[in-house]
Amino acid sequence: MNTTRPAWATEATFYHIYPLGLSGASLQNDLSSSPIPRLASLKHWVNHLSSLGCDALYLGPLFEAGTHGYDTVDYYTVDRRLGTNSTLAEVVAHFHAHGIRVVLDGVFNHVGRDFWAFKNLQADGESSSFRHWFAGVDFSRRSPYGDAFVYEGWNGHYNLIKLNLQHPEVRAHLFEAVKMWVQEFGIDGLRLDAADVMDHDFLRDLASYCRSLRSDFWLMGEVIHGDYRRWANPGMLHSTTNYECYKGLYSSHNDRNYFELAFSLNRLFGAQGIYKDLSLYNFADNHDVNRIASTLRNPAHLYPLHALLFTMPGIPSVYYGSEWGISGTKLPHTDAPLRPAIASPDAIGQAPHPELATAIRQFAGIRKQSSALRQGTYEQVFVAHEQFAFARRSAHDHVLVAVNAADAPAKLLLTVDLPDGSLFTNLLDQQQYRVQHKTLPIEHLPAHWACILQQQ
């Protein structure tokens, strides 16, 4: 089996869109209306993604579902609220024509109550030929929905019915869907929803199957807790979501305690780092968590936080709208505020933080030009409560990153094992710095900002 990590994904900067939200689709699918090609509006975003420096797009759930997209009804048909299969094929082709890869959400752990095989189980009961397609089916008890049987739901949610991923017919059904997505839509990879609770044998077989379809097909799993190496390894997935650093990015700013993030980065990616050979998927927010602008206590911290997002080890991702610092907070019974409708990048109106997109564009451009930032080693250089610096190195590139979360400028003396006179250029403003007595003095690191120093 080819277990090589696809180079394009390691090098990529992702943009994440939740299509049902962005396009303003109804929260409920009546499963009978004529398709509306809302998905076609994504074409208006291509130039914006390119201008930000994003060359890969992760699209949230697209296939026929009852509500939010993670309650699949049909793996082979695009959700009628978004259009048709032809709509998706055209959108993917359009992004590809502009050099942007496309990754889809693979929701294989569970389905919705309108999934056709579950409807058959409801109708035929114990005689249903699909009885064993679902986990935990037991006809001695009734489900919370009043079915004549109980079944296993994802995380206790009985509107999300867990599939029996060990069943050969279930596997065949899902694998054929992936094959169709590759052949009909030309997708470049999958983000696997709820990978942290999925059967590992299934994930291994899915990985092998996907690589037989395309050697450069990328697989990334949603994993919140645990050792990411259980899922990201040569026989399974290429990457997982990096929730540990997601938490560290915001809480180290809110608590004015860079020691937290520094500890995580060193533990994960330092010389003895447990994930130093992995390219994890890094993010500041997504469709499941509060917008980063709503999470940070000080909005000015959006800038050093994103500088870190684009310079720390891993693959950076921007969630649609957060490049302008829009807000959004989960409500008790809905995530809708996290998934707003935005007709086009021009429709954002007065952005809450209009300079943030400019900064992200600059950070992404620097990362794209630096092999050290994309794939280099990681070494901590300095850490204090509100200042933090680290080094990234590749064979021909050496970069020092320093951030300042304080409300006032900072002065740093970075210890470096380099000859006196060694020259560094700040890629953010082109100012130059020279090594003196094994230290690199940074006389003025602006408040709530960063410097990204490349050795000349």
Tens digit of each residue's pLDDT (9 = 90 or more) over 144-176: 999 999 999 999 999 999 999 999 999 999 999
Cβ atoms within 10 Å of 297's Cβ, excluding its own: 10
Helix (H) or strand (E) holding 101: strand 101-106
End-to-end CA distance of the chain: 41
Whether the Cβ atoms of residue 16 and residue 317 lie closer than 8 Å to each other: yes
Strand intervals (E) in 157-284: 157-162, 189-192, 218-221, 239-240, 281-283
Structure letter (DSSP) for residue 232: B
pLDDT digits (tens, 9 = 90+) for 205-234: 999 999 999 999 999 999 999 999 999 999
User: What amino acid occupies position 102?
Assistant: V
| Mean pLDDT score of the chain | 97
Whether the Cβ atoms of residue 448 and residue 301 lie closer than 8 Å to each other: yes
Nearest residue to 33 via CA among 95, 97, 79: 79
The token duo for 216 is: 């450069």
Q: What is the DSSP string of 313-346?
A: SSEEEEETTGGGT-----BTTB-GGGS---S-GG
CA distance 52 to 359: 9
**Main-chain phi, psi angles of 432, to 5 degrees:** -110, 150
pLDDT at residue 1 is higher than 50: no
Phi-psi region of 275 (alpha: psi -120 to 50; beta: other; left: phi over 0): alpha
State the pairing for strand pair 432-434/377-383. unpaired
Q: Give me the sign of the Cα torsion angle 6, 11, 17, 18.
A: positive
Which pLDDT does position 350 carry in this prediction?
Answer: 81
CA distance 195 to 231: 8
Whether the Cβ atoms of residue 80 and residue 30 lie closer than 8 Å to each other: no
CA distance 201 to 178: 17
Domains and CATH numbers, the chain: 7-111+166-374 (3.20.20.80), 112-164 (3.90.400), 376-455 (2.60.40.1180)
Enumerate the β-bridge partners of residue 167.
none
pLDDT digits (tens, 9 = 90+) for 259-271: 999 999 999 999 9
The token duo for 312 is: 């720390």
Cβ atoms within 10 Å of 256's Cβ, excluding its own: 15
- CA max distance for the chain: 81
The token duo for 394 is: 């590749």
Q: Is the pTM of this model over 0.85?
A: yes
Which pLDDT does position 169 carry in this prediction?
Answer: 98
pLDDT at residue 182 is higher than 60: yes
Cβ atoms within 10 Å of 383's Cβ, excluding its own: 19
pLDDT digits (tens, 9 = 90+) for 347-381: 777 889 999 999 999 999 999 999 999 999 999 99
Which pLDDT does position 348 carry in this prediction?
Answer: 79
Whether the Cβ atoms of residue 373 and residue 311 lie closer than 8 Å to each other: yes
Nearest residue to 292 via CA among 321, 256, 325: 325
Residues 6+ apart with CB under 8 A from 38: 19, 23, 24, 25, 81, 82, 83
pLDDT at residue 448 is higher than 80: yes
pLDDT at residue 3 is higher than 70: no
Nearest-10 crossing angle of helices 243-254, 302-311: 150
pLDDT digits (tens, 9 = 90+) for 317-326: 999 999 999 9
The counts of H helices and E strands in the chain are: 13, 21
Which pLDDT does position 103 carry in this prediction?
Answer: 98
| Res. 2 pLDDT band, cuts 50 70 90 | very low
Strand intervals (E) in 309-456: 315-319, 377-383, 387-394, 397-404, 410-415, 423-426, 432-434, 439-445, 449-455
The token duo for 107 is: 């929701």
